[in-house]
Amino acid sequence: MEKVTDRFLRYVQIDTQSDEEGTGTPTTEKQHELARLLVEELTKMGAEEITYDKEHCYVYASIPATEGMEGKPVMGFISHMDTSPAVSGANVRPRIITAYDGEDIVLNSGLGIVMKTADFPELKEYQGKSLIVTDGTTLLGADDKAGVAEIMTMAEYLLSHSDVPHGKLRIGFTPDEEVGAGADHFDVELFSADCAYTVDGGKLGELEYENFNAAGARVTFHGRSVHPGDAKNKMKNALLTAMEFQGMLPVSENPMYTEKYEGFYHLDALNGDIERAVADYIIRDHSREKFEQKKALFEKAGAFLNEKYGEGTVEIELKDSYYNMKEIIEDHMELIDHAMEAMREAGVEPVVVPIRGGTDGARLSYMGLPCPNLCTGGHNFHGRFEYICIESMEAVVRILLNLARG
C-alpha cells in the first residue's frame, strides 16, 4: 500500500491553483489534471460508483460496505483539489526535513528565505519529527492536497483489507474551494451520504464545526477629476473617498487585530484613480447577529458618504458567501462525538476550535449534508512558509480509518 507521504508529494507536483477572476467551473482547467489522476487511482484500487463530472471537475466514488454492515449510515469524506490564488502553486519543490532540530529552517539560501521560529513558534512542537516544507518560492499545497492524500490512503487500505468492517463510504473531491465556489455544483443527491466530514483543517487534533458567516463586498467610488490648480469646490477624489470609507470602519475589527471568535472587515484590494476607485472587502463573524450588524454598518457608511458628496458617489455590491455551520451541526452532535472518539483511539487529543474561515462543509451543511471539518496536520496555508508534519498526516489516516469503522 502506498504511503500517504508519497501520494502527497505526487499530488503537489500538479498545479491546481484556482482563480478568483475565473468565470467558469472550474475556474482553471488545470484542476482537471488532478481530477483525472484521482479517477485513475480510484479505479486501480477497486473503488466503486466512480463518477467524474467532466464539466465541473468533481470526483465521486464509493467504498462498498463489508458483509453485514450494509445497514449502517453512509459516511462521506470530502477534500478540495485546488490551491489558493494567493501564492503560486506551479513548480512546487517540496523538501523533507527528517528529525527536525527545532531551529530556524532555511528554505532558500540563494534568496535568503528563512522560516524563523520567532515568527512561527509552533515549529518548536515538531522537534524530532519529519516536516515537508517549500523552497520558499511557492506554497506547498497541503491545503488541501494533504486531505486528498489522506482520504485516498484510507480508501486504498479499506479496499485492500476486506477484514476491516465498515459501512458504505462515499468520497468526494471538489474544485474551487479556495475561491468560495467548491460547493457550487456538488451533487448532494448523487453523493447520497447521511453525513460527511471535510478533511481540510490545520494542526493535528483540531476539530471544527463552527465557521465564519461570510460576505463579500465590492465598493465603487465615483469622483470628478479637475486640474489640481483649479480644483477648489470642484474636484472629488475617489481615492480619498475610499480612504474615508475605510476610516469609518472600526480599527480594531481588522484581521491583524482579531482572533478566536472576533470578526472583522478586511480590505482585500484597492485600485483606481481620482475618477473611479474600486475596493474589494470581505466581512466575517461567527455570530449571525454581529455579522448582520457589520453589513449594516457597511451600508450606513456608504449612505453617509452619498449624503455628504452626492448620491451615486458610493455604490456597494454586498453578497453573502456562506453561513456558520454550527446552526446545522448542533442537531448532529454525534458527528463531533464520533470524531473525538476516533482521534483519541488514534492517540490524538481532540481540540474543538472555531474555523476563522470557511470550508465546503459549511455550505454543504446548509444543502442537507451535515459536514464538520477534520484536521490535516498542516500549517501556514496559502503562503511560502506552508509546511506539514509527516507523522501528523499518518495520524490523520488512522483517524479516518477509525471513523470509517465507527
Choosing from 15, 82, 144, 150, the catalytic residue is: 82
| Maximum separation of any 2 CA atoms in the chain, in Å | 86
Choosing from 15, 177, 206, 285, the catalytic residue is: 177
Report the 10 Å Cβ neighbour count for 162: 10
User: Is 227 assigned to a binding site?
Assistant: no
236, 314 Cβ separation under 8 angstroms? no
User: Is 32 assigned to a binding site?
Assistant: no
Map residue 110 onto helix, strand or coil. Answer: coil
The partner residues of 202 in beta bridges, in order of sequence, read none
User: Is 200 assigned to a binding site?
Assistant: yes
User: Is 143 assigned to a binding site?
Assistant: yes
Please state, in angstroms and rounded to a whole number, the distance separating the CA atoms of residues 164 and 207: 25
> Does residue 26 have a cis peptide bond before it, meaning omega lies within 30 degrees of 0?
yes
- Catalytic residue list contains 194: no
Please state, in angstroms and rounded to a whole number, the distance separating the CA atoms of residues 54 and 71: 32
- Catalytic residue list contains 82: yes
User: Is 176 assigned to a binding site?
Assistant: no
In sequence order, the 6+-apart residues with CB closer than 8 A to the CB of 78 are: 151, 171, 172, 173, 174, 196, 197, 198, 199, 200, 360, 361, 364, 371
The cell numbers describing 27, all together, are 475556474
> Binding site: what residues are annotated?
80, 143, 178, 200, 382
Enumerate the known binding-site residues for Zn(2+).
80, 143, 178, 200, 382
Catalytic residues: 82, 177
